[in-house]
Amino acid sequence: MNQPALAGLDAPERDSVSIVDALIRRGRAAMDAFADSTQARVDEAVTAIAWSLYKPEHAEALAAMAVDDTGLGNAADKIIKNQRKTFGTLRDLMRVKSVGIIEERPELGLVKYAKPVGVVGAVTPSTNPAATPVNKAMMALKGRNAIVIAPSPAGLATTTHAVALMRAELEKVGAPADLVQVLPPPVDKEITNALMAACDLVVVTGSQSNVRAAYRSGTPAIGVGAGNVPVIVDSSADLDAAAAKIAASKCFDNATSCSSENAAIVLDDVYDDAVAALQRAGGYLADAADKEVIQDSLWVDGTLNRRVIAKDFAVLAAECGLGGKARGARFFMVEETGIGPEHPFSDEKLALVLTVYRAKTFDDAVGKVRAIMAVKGRGHSVGIHTRDMAHARRLAEELDTARVLVNMAHTFGNGGGFDSGLNFTLSMGCGTWQGNSISENLNYRHFLNITQLAVPIPEDRPSEDALFGAYWEKYGK
């Protein structure tokens, strides 16, 4: 069930390059053994990977381990995340082809064949030490690739156990266990960088320092960006529905998700009613004194305080000394007017704190969203609660963002949802706006090389006049 031992791990000084090279060799051997698999066989292996986490006792055990190991989030929500993301990703993967001919375009004379990208090096975060490794492994195996996972040091024990469960399930169906491997402890920058340099594709979810390291590695890389989601509550919104969705999304897994709402920008004419709706949904509206205490508790020397981020609300409230006043609440609401480095509440918080802004007009709201994304999260995503689709379309047309979610609980729609057309994933690309190579949700296509077979078609050569005529008429030859 467990990954085979590697020689020399107990030595005082280890050779990270040699350790990684051994993992890569085993991955390539597993790929060779898996190379001739049919689509049905590949899908069976992907299903095995999914079941290794979706199985209720595994989802529960890994959720509890994740919270114990990292101190982030809560076990009940991580169980939901482990199963929901895995189930949704499996749904997506079972509906597509990834072996042999995957597309034919006879009108263009093209036939497309899918090929593996190779051994994938996957860097995964402490926020999702089970769900993200399984999610990436499912996508990698869909393309007949092998994967070596570099966990966050904080999530190492959870990820290692998740990998052991994946390997056991692969062995059960007769697939090579070495299609999924994990770096041995201790996992540090040295061995993670060695993996990035040795693999065929790097896929990074987590810290932006790891994303930048991946792009510097010399290996083709996919990195995703940081979130800091602003959501507009428009004048036409169903305020109670919007508040319920924002609260559910904000509170899920103690706001560990990069898709968690960090700011609500509320139009002036519905501001008081919207804040009241958020209070009914469990928000505690901080006064000026509370706001100062929350800020001092949430940031220490300009850095988010690990004692309170992604912790249960009772822990956060107690740390702020507001347990009595806030008893019964689910999250803090802090009213803010400023945006920028000198206003930390405009930044990502990874905690049960929602910043609330008042916007005079919709133009003002759009401006505030743009300014918030300039602080952090440009390219990631924006939400809006509205009955006016023209407002939603305007956000999509004007803002530097990869996703605009309309009337959704952001955490449950941004990375895929059963009422969202976005594919299930735990890794959201933010485009060149945030220095990423993709501006869509990570998906199985990113783990495929494509060969295009081209045959002659009837000549498709328009006349010069068809292409240049309008230009010549306007500007001359």
Coil/strand/helix, residue 404: strand
Q: Check residue 219 and give its pLDDT.
A: 97
Amino acid at 161: H
Contacts of 450-457 with CB under 8 Å at 24 or more apart are 450/102, 450/112, 450/113, 450/114, 450/115, 451/112, 451/113, 451/115, 452/110, 452/111, 452/112, 452/113, 453/110, 453/111, 453/112, 453/113, 454/109, 454/110, 455/109, 456/109, 457/107, 457/108, 457/109
Q: Which of 261, 324, 315, 316 minimizes the C-alpha distance to 293? A: 316
Query: Helix and strand tally (H, E) in the chain?
Result: 16, 17
- 289 — phi, psi (to 5°)? -70, -45
Peptide bond into 186 cis (omega under 30): yes
Residues annotated as part of the active site: 258
| Those residues with Cβ within 8 angstroms of residue 445's Cβ, 6 or more apart along the chain or in another chain | none
Residue 80: half-sphere exposure toward Cβ, Cα within 13 Å: 11
**Tokens in use for 216?**
């510097």
Contacts of 357-360 with CB under 8 Å at 24 or more apart are 357/263, 357/264, 357/265, 357/266, 358/266, 358/268, 358/271, 359/232, 359/265, 359/266, 359/267, 359/268, 360/268
Q: Which of 311, 273, 319, 329 minimizes the C-alpha distance to 294? A: 319
SS (H, E, C) 124-137: CCCCCCCHHHHHHH
Strand partners, 410: none
Is the distance from CB of 119 to CB of 202 less than 8 angstroms?
A: no
Q: Check residue 1 and give its pLDDT.
A: 46
**Tokens in use for 190?**
């040295």
**Tokens in use for 288?**
């000026």
The domain defined by 16-224+442-452 folds into Aldehyde Dehydrogenase; Chain A, domain 1 (3.40.605)
Amino acid at 136: K
Q: How far apart are CA 345 and CA 383, in angstroms?
A: 18
**Tokens in use for 46?**
């992907």
Q: Check residue 8 and give its pLDDT.
A: 43
Decide: pTM greater than 0.85.
yes
Class of domain 229-414 as given by CATH: alpha beta
Q: How far apart are CA 3 and CA 167, in angstroms?
A: 8
Coil/strand/helix, residue 31: helix
Task: Give the torsion through C-alpha atoms of 360, 364, 366, 372, to 10 deg.
Answer: -100
The per-residue DSSP string of 41-108 comes to HHHHHHHHHHHHHHSHHHHHHHHHHHHHHH--S-HHHHHHHHHHHHHHHHHHHHTS--SEEEEEETTT
Strands 283-285 and 261-267, sheet pairing: unpaired
Ordered per-residue pLDDT tens for the chain, 477 residues: 466 555 444 445 789 999 999 999 999 999 999 999 999 999 999 999 999 999 999 999 999 999 999 999 999 999 999 999 999 999 999 999 999 999 999 999 999 999 999 999 999 999 999 999 999 999 999 999 999 999 999 999 999 999 999 999 999 999 999 999 999 999 999 999 999 999 999 999 988 889 999 999 999 999 999 999 999 999 999 999 999 999 999 999 999 999 999 999 999 999 999 999 999 999 999 999 999 999 999 999 999 999 999 999 999 999 999 988 898 899 999 999 999 999 999 999 999 999 999 999 999 999 999 999 999 999 999 999 999 999 999 999 999 999 999 999 999 999 999 999 999 999 999 999 999 999 999 999 999 999 999 999 999 999 999 999 999 999 999
Q: Check residue 6 and give its pLDDT.
A: 53
Domain ranges of the chain: 16-224+442-452, 229-414
